[in-house]
Amino acid sequence: MRLDKFICKSTELTRTEAKSLLKTGKVRVNGEVSKNAAMQVHENNDITVEGQSLTARQSRYIMLHKPLDTICSNVDENYPSLFHLIDVDKAFDMHVAGRLDADTTGLVIITDDGRWSHNIISPKKQCEKVYRVFLRDNIKEDSAQKFEEGVQLQGEKSLTRPAKLKIIEDREVLLTITEGKYHQVKRMFAAVGNRVVGLHREQIGIVKLADLPLGEWRYLTEQEVNAFS
């Protein structure tokens, strides 16, 4: 990780304060003064400030039940950021692994470990995400087959990857996808002539939202973290 980020992770300093500290020449990496905020360092490097060794805080892995009208961005925009709901130190330094729209509820995974979250986000990893979808019109009989074969989304070069559809009721289904294209679920149902009127994510990989109350969060268990490693 970058040296300025390492300093943030191991002190109370903000990124700007870490950069200012670096300019003073008080930071050494393996004995050498470094003023380079972008320098790549590892946790086993000896990084000191005025002779005191720094130890990076352990990465955090959290799940949250996202309410309606919150956004997954780290800054408030039209709606408040969901990071306000997480009362941990430097919550806004973390990121969401697979964002949900403001009008989608359900499971979000939040971390400050970018390498780990790549295993959830990258389409190459084919991590399954399960959505409960509420539809405007009754589900058509051939939709499951179409999703299995892949549908063409507007503006995309290739078909969607095979997705599994389980019909719960005429206008309620469970959809499992392994990608996370922009507004993917809404666009998939639009591609088969329907419209999503409610969307809720229930599961990512082995992590299930289960009975975590709306707006609440918890740390992932070791087993859950390791499942994406």
| Residues with active-site annotation | 101
Distance, CA of 161 to CA of 147 (rounded, Å): 8
The residues in 157-186 that bind ligand URA, with binding defined as CB under 6 A, are: 183-186
Question: Does an H or E element contain 208, and which?
Answer: strand 207-208
Of 105, 64, 69, the closest CA to residue 86 belongs to 64
Instruction: Candidates 2-10, 99-107, 109-117, 157-165: pick the segment binding ligand URA (CB under 6 A).
Output: 99-107
Instruction: Candidates 43-51, 81-89, 100-108, 160-168: pick the segment binding ligand URA (CB under 6 A).
Output: 100-108
Of 97, 99, 101, the closest CA to residue 118 belongs to 97
Binding mask 51-90 for ligand URA (x = CB under 6 A): ----------------------------------------
Q: Is 100 in the site for ligand URA (CB under 6 A)?
A: yes
Nearer to ligand URA, 101 or 156 (CB): 101
Q: Is 104 in the site for ligand URA (CB under 6 A)?
A: yes
> Least Å distance between CB 106 and ligand URA?
8
Distance, CA of 229 to CA of 225 (rounded, Å): 7
Nearer to ligand URA, 11 or 134 (CB): 134
> Least Å distance between CB 77 and ligand URA?
15
Of 124, 118, 126, the closest CA to residue 95 belongs to 118
Residue from 8, 165, 199, 220 touching ligand URA (CB under 6 A): that is 199
CB 168 within 8 A of CB 62: no
Of 172, 66, 175, 178, the closest CA to residue 130 belongs to 175
> Least Å distance between CB 111 and ligand URA?
18
Residue from 101, 156, 179, 224 touching ligand URA (CB under 6 A): that is 101
Distance, CA of 66 to CA of 102 (rounded, Å): 9
End-to-end CA, the chain: 18
Sole residue written with tokens 């692994």: 97
Site size toward ligand URA (CB under 6 A) is 8
Distance, CA of 70 to CA of 89 (rounded, Å): 20
Q: Is 107 in the site for ligand URA (CB under 6 A)?
A: no
Please report, as ranges, the residues that interact with ligand URA according to CB under 6 A.
Answer: 100-101, 104, 183-186, 199
